């Protein structure tokens, strides 16, 4: 498979040119192809649409991250109630995905530091079952096992 990929890359590079294979490296290398300006492998319209989508995502995610960051800061200062409130706020305003996962992980951290291992375990199990990608599940399972051991020793 590697050989096929290499051969295909060499063919595209030789036949169509290096910048076509990789896309233009900067705006100085932008070029006109079939009437459309191509920048970094995208047409100008595609690049503008992508930029708008990224900006919109950043604007939507900023309030969530503000709550997450405040929650982490409160947790560092052992202000568990305030930290818990911030992480819950992040979960509430997120539409799922990364924001919800980060909020839930923060809550699990709060409960662990407070010694409420059962609540921390419950949250981690929800993350594992609802939010986590397959590659993250072993790490979450390891943390659950460690917390169960702490709970048992309590």
pLDDT at 126 over 70: yes
Residue 122 has pLDDT above 80, yes or no: yes
Q: Which of 73, 76, 140 is nearest to 104 (CA)?
A: 140
Fill in the DSSP letter of residue 77: T
Residue pair 29/19 in contact (Cβ under 8 Å)? The answer is yes
Write down the mean pLDDT value for the chain.
80
**pLDDT at residue 16, rounded to an integer:** 44
Virtual torsion, Cα 122, 124, 130, 131, nearest 10 deg: 150
DSSP string, 93-113: H--SHHHHHHHHHHHHHHHHH
Count of residues for the chain?
154
Higher-confidence residue of 24 and 89: namely 89
Find all residues with CB under 8 Å of 24, minimum gap 6, and list them.
Answer: 30, 31, 38, 39, 40, 41
Determine the Cα–Cα distance for residues 14 and 32; give it in Å rounded to an integer: 19
Which phi and psi angles does 16 have, rounded to 5°? -105, -15
Q: Which residue, 88, 79, 89, 141, is CA-closest to 113?
A: 79
Select the more confidently predicted residue: 24 or 66. Answer: 66
CB 120 within 8 A of CB 108: yes
Higher-confidence residue: 140 or 43? 140
pTM: 0.67
* Over residues 38-58, mean pLDDT: 74
Q: What is the mean pLDDT of residues 47-67?
A: 85
The model's pLDDT over 129-149, given as tens digits with 9 standing for 90+, comes to: 998 889 999 999 999 999 999
Q: What is the DSSP letter of 130?
A: I
Give the model's pLDDT for residue 13.
Answer: 43
Q: For residue 50, give every residue at least 6 positions away whose Cβ sits within 8 Å of its Cβ, in sequence order, or none.
A: 42
> Does residue 32 sit in helix, strand or coil?
strand
pLDDT, mean of residues 27-45? 55
């Amino acid at each position: 498979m590697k050989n096929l990929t290499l051969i295909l890359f060499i063919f595209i590079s030789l036949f169509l040119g290096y910048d076509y294979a990789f896309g233009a490296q900067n705006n100085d290398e932008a070029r006109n192809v079939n009437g459309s300006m191509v920048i970094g492998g995208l047409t100008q319209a595609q690049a503008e649409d992508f930029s708008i989508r990224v900006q919109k995502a950043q604007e939507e995610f900023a309030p969530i991250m503000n709550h997450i960051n405040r929650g982490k800061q409160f947790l560092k200062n052992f202000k568990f109630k305030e930290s818990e409130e911030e992480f819950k706020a992040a979960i509430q305003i997120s539409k799922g995905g990364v924001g919800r996962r980060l909020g839930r992980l923060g809550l699990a951290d709060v409960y662990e530091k407070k010694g409420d291992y059962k609540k921390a375990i419950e949250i981690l199990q929800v993350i594992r079952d609802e939010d986590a990608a397959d590659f993250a599940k072993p790490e979450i399972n390891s943390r659950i096992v460690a917390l169960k051991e702490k709970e048992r020793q309590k």
